[in-house]
């Protein structure tokens, strides 16, 4: 069993209907801010998407957070960063409207608890395009506590996004881990399984599989999250038997 486990969030720890989630999220966001910032819902949504696009192209020159606000300001033609605290308040409160597009898988909390009991270092390696408030909220929707994890990637502690391999290099550097001792668990064959190129072990979660190009998934260990829980259980038992035999 690897000592370090990295989990994607949306579609992995948190089962999600992604199109529905985006629709509900944008509706709630525009409902909260359109009147307050005196901009059309269309322009506000465009600002969010342009911010996400800017972060996805980050080459490491600055934190994702800086690129998001630059793009937001440019799109809206005004200083939107004065509303940063209000955005965080939204993610702690009205963002809950998007929870309807998610569900809780009991195997997730059981797996995290088992890995913690085994002394594994746990990371939420979600694409860092959201602020801390939004990411921590979604972790709680999954039936977990942010304190369950040793590190969580958000837009103000990362300078790259998936599938840029520097995103994974940064996690290794920040957490003091090596790919060979680590396992990346995710549902996106492009953004999560690319970690294998660096030497990470991988497990592809198929419950909410994202496979844009119809790639052959058999090259990766894969299965449902329940299958992953069984895999972790088997690995743990094998480790215990090996230790007892010594």
Q: What is the pLDDT of residue 159?
A: 98
Region label for 140, one of left (φ > 0), alpha (ψ between -120 and 50) or beta (otherwise): alpha
Question: In whole angstroms, what is the distance from residue 142 CA to residue 106 CA?
Answer: 9
Cα dist. 146→122, 173, 215 in Å? 11, 21, 33
Are the C-beta atoms of residues 74 and 50 closer than 8 Å to each other? yes
Q: Name the strand (E) or helix (H) holding 5.
A: strand 4-7
Would you say the pTM of this structure is higher than 0.75?
Answer: yes
- How far is residue 181's CA from residue 156's CA, in Å, rounded to a whole number? 26
8 A C-beta contact, residue 175 and residue 151: yes
> In degrees, to the nearest 5, what angle opens at C-alpha 211 toward C-alphas 111 and 198?
65
pLDDT at 244: 54
Beta bridge partners of 152: 124
pLDDT tens per residue across all 246 residues of the chain: 789 999 999 999 999 999 999 999 999 999 999 999 999 999 999 999 999 999 999 999 999 999 999 999 999 999 999 999 999 999 999 999 999 999 999 999 999 999 999 999 999 999 999 999 999 999 999 999 999 999 999 999 999 999 999 999 999 999 999 999 999 999 999 999 999 999 999 999 999 999 999 999 999 999 999 999 999 999 887 765 565 554
Collapsing DSSP to helix, strand or coil, 30 comes out as helix
Residue 210 DSSP label: B
Cα separation, 137 vs 63, in Å, equals: 21
DSSP 8-state code for residue 213: T
Q: If you write DSSP's letter for every residue of 32-49 in order, what string do you get?
A: HHHHHHT--HHHHHHHHH
* CA 105 – CA 227 distance, rounded (Å): 12
Residue 163, preceding bond cis, omega within 30 degrees?
Answer: yes
């Amino acid at each position: 069993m690897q000592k370090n486990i990295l989990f994607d969030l949306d579609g992995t720890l948190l089962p999600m209907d992604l199109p529905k989630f985006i629709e509900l999220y944008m509706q709630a966001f525009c409902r909260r801010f359109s009147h307050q910032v005196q901009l059309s819902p269309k322009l506000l949504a465009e600002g969010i998407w342009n911010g996400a696009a800017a972060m996805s192209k980050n080459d490491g020159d600055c934190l994702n957070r800086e690129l998001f606000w630059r793009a937001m300001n440019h799109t809206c033609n005004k200083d939107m960063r004065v509303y940063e605290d209000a955005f965080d308040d939204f993610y702690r409160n009205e963002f809950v409207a998007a929870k309807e597009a998610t569900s809780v898988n009991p195997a997730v909390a059981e797996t995290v608890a088992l890995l913690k009991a085994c002394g594994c270092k746990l990371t939420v390696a979600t694409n860092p395009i959201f602020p801390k408030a939004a990411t921590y909220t979604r972790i709680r929707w999954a039936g977990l506590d942010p304190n369950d994890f040793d590190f969580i990637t958000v837009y103000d502690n990362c300078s790259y996004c998936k599938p840029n391999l520097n995103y994974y290099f940064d996690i290794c550097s920040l957490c003091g881990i090596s790919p060979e001792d680590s396992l990346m668990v995710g549902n996106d064959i492009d953004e999560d399984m690319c970690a294998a190129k660096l030497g990470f072990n991988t497990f592809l979660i198929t419950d909410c599989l994202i496979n844009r190009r119809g790639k052959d998934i058999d090259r990766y260990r894969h299965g449902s999250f329940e299958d992953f829980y069984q895999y972790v259980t088997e690995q743990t038992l094998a480790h215990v038997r090996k230790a007892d035999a010594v």
